[in-house]
Amino acid sequence: MCAKWNTSDEQNIADRNKANRSHQSMPYRKGRKSYYQLNDDFRLAHDREPNHLEIFKISRCKELPDGNEQWVDDESRSRYERIIQLSTPSLDSESGSTPISAEEAFVSVMGKDRSGRIRCGGSRETRRT
Protein backbone atom coordinates (compact mmCIF):
# COMPACT_ATOMS: atom_id res chain seq x y z
CA MET A 1 0.00 0.00 0.00
CA CYS A 2 2.84 2.40 0.84
CA ALA A 3 4.41 1.75 -2.55
CA LYS A 4 1.14 2.76 -4.24
CA TRP A 5 0.85 6.01 -2.26
CA ASN A 6 4.42 7.00 -3.00
CA THR A 7 4.06 6.83 -6.79
CA SER A 8 4.24 10.08 -8.72
CA ASP A 9 0.68 9.67 -10.03
CA GLU A 10 -0.73 9.41 -6.50
CA GLN A 11 1.35 12.37 -5.33
CA ASN A 12 0.06 14.45 -8.27
CA ILE A 13 -3.52 13.57 -7.36
CA ALA A 14 -2.90 14.46 -3.71
CA ASP A 15 -1.36 17.81 -4.68
CA ARG A 16 -4.27 18.59 -7.01
CA ASN A 17 -6.80 17.73 -4.28
CA LYS A 18 -4.95 19.91 -1.77
CA ALA A 19 -5.02 22.84 -4.21
CA ASN A 20 -8.73 22.31 -4.86
CA ARG A 21 -9.53 22.29 -1.13
CA SER A 22 -7.71 25.61 -0.72
CA HIS A 23 -10.17 27.21 -3.20
CA GLN A 24 -13.22 25.83 -1.42
CA SER A 25 -15.68 28.49 -0.41
CA MET A 26 -18.10 28.00 2.45
CA PRO A 27 -16.30 25.13 4.19
CA TYR A 28 -18.17 22.45 6.06
CA ARG A 29 -17.93 22.81 9.86
CA LYS A 30 -19.00 19.42 11.17
CA GLY A 31 -15.85 17.41 10.41
CA ARG A 32 -16.58 13.72 9.90
CA LYS A 33 -20.29 14.03 10.71
CA SER A 34 -22.22 13.42 7.49
CA TYR A 35 -25.30 15.18 6.18
CA TYR A 36 -27.22 11.99 6.94
CA GLN A 37 -26.25 12.17 10.60
CA LEU A 38 -27.17 15.87 10.73
CA ASN A 39 -30.51 15.02 9.13
CA ASP A 40 -31.18 12.23 11.63
CA ASP A 41 -30.19 14.40 14.61
CA PHE A 42 -32.52 17.16 13.43
CA ARG A 43 -35.37 14.69 12.84
CA LEU A 44 -34.98 13.26 16.35
CA ALA A 45 -34.88 16.72 17.94
CA HIS A 46 -37.76 18.30 15.98
CA ASP A 47 -39.92 15.34 14.79
CA ARG A 48 -39.82 16.52 11.15
CA GLU A 49 -37.55 16.50 8.11
CA PRO A 50 -35.20 19.50 7.79
CA ASN A 51 -35.17 21.56 4.62
CA HIS A 52 -31.99 22.45 2.72
CA LEU A 53 -31.68 25.82 4.45
CA GLU A 54 -31.76 24.27 7.93
CA ILE A 55 -29.11 21.71 7.01
CA PHE A 56 -27.00 24.49 5.44
CA LYS A 57 -27.14 26.48 8.68
CA ILE A 58 -26.44 23.46 10.91
CA SER A 59 -23.40 22.49 8.86
CA ARG A 60 -21.85 25.97 8.72
CA CYS A 61 -22.98 27.85 11.83
CA LYS A 62 -22.34 27.25 15.50
CA GLU A 63 -24.74 28.45 18.17
CA LEU A 64 -22.73 29.98 21.02
CA PRO A 65 -23.84 29.76 24.68
CA ASP A 66 -24.49 33.52 24.79
CA GLY A 67 -27.06 33.20 21.98
CA ASN A 68 -24.84 34.51 19.19
CA GLU A 69 -24.00 32.64 16.01
CA GLN A 70 -20.50 31.89 14.74
CA TRP A 71 -20.33 31.23 10.98
CA VAL A 72 -17.40 29.46 9.34
CA ASP A 73 -16.95 32.36 6.90
CA ASP A 74 -18.59 35.57 5.75
CA GLU A 75 -19.73 34.04 2.44
CA SER A 76 -21.86 31.43 4.23
CA ARG A 77 -23.40 34.05 6.52
CA SER A 78 -24.21 36.46 3.68
CA ARG A 79 -25.80 33.72 1.55
CA TYR A 80 -27.90 32.54 4.50
CA GLU A 81 -29.07 36.11 5.16
CA ARG A 82 -29.90 36.58 1.46
CA ILE A 83 -31.99 33.37 1.46
CA ILE A 84 -33.85 34.52 4.59
CA GLN A 85 -34.43 37.94 3.01
CA LEU A 86 -35.92 36.38 -0.13
CA SER A 87 -38.21 34.04 1.78
CA THR A 88 -39.46 36.54 4.37
CA PRO A 89 -42.37 38.87 3.53
CA SER A 90 -41.29 42.49 3.34
CA LEU A 91 -42.99 45.10 5.52
CA ASP A 92 -42.41 47.67 2.77
CA SER A 93 -45.56 47.50 0.64
CA GLU A 94 -44.02 49.64 -2.12
CA SER A 95 -41.40 47.05 -3.00
CA GLY A 96 -44.00 44.81 -4.63
CA SER A 97 -41.85 41.75 -4.14
CA THR A 98 -43.59 38.64 -2.93
CA PRO A 99 -41.72 36.16 -0.74
CA ILE A 100 -40.83 32.80 -2.20
CA SER A 101 -40.52 29.46 -0.45
CA ALA A 102 -37.34 28.66 1.45
CA GLU A 103 -36.46 25.96 -1.10
CA GLU A 104 -36.89 28.35 -4.05
CA ALA A 105 -34.83 31.00 -2.25
CA PHE A 106 -32.13 28.42 -1.55
CA VAL A 107 -31.90 27.48 -5.23
CA SER A 108 -31.89 31.11 -6.39
CA VAL A 109 -28.99 32.03 -4.06
CA MET A 110 -26.96 28.81 -4.18
CA GLY A 111 -27.63 27.94 -7.81
CA LYS A 112 -29.08 24.83 -9.36
CA ASP A 113 -27.70 21.47 -8.30
CA ARG A 114 -25.39 19.67 -10.67
CA SER A 115 -26.80 16.51 -12.15
CA GLY A 116 -26.58 13.62 -9.71
CA ARG A 117 -25.95 15.90 -6.73
CA ILE A 118 -28.17 17.69 -4.24
CA ARG A 119 -26.69 20.42 -2.07
CA CYS A 120 -26.82 19.73 1.65
CA GLY A 121 -28.06 16.25 0.87
CA GLY A 122 -24.88 14.19 0.99
CA SER A 123 -23.16 12.17 -1.69
CA ARG A 124 -25.81 9.44 -1.90
CA GLU A 125 -28.76 11.84 -2.22
CA THR A 126 -30.08 12.29 -5.75
CA ARG A 127 -33.26 13.78 -7.21
CA ARG A 128 -34.77 10.30 -7.52
CA THR A 129 -34.16 9.47 -3.85
What are the residues whose beta carbons fall under 8 Å from the beta carbon of 111, sequence distance 6 or more? none
In contact, 80 and 56? CB cutoff 8 Å: yes
Q: What is the dihedral of CA 101, 82, 19, 124, to 10 degrees?
A: -10
Domain range annotation of the chain: 33-129
Tens of pLDDT, residue by residue over 54-66, are 888 888 888 889 9
- DSSP class of 101: -
**Residue 118, SS3?**
coil
Tens of pLDDT, residue by residue over 107-120, are 888 777 666 555 66
**Distance of alpha carbon 33 from its chain centroid, rounded?**
13
Q: What integer pLDDT is reported at residue 44 of this predicted model?
A: 94
Q: What integer pLDDT is reported at residue 122 of this predicted model?
A: 56
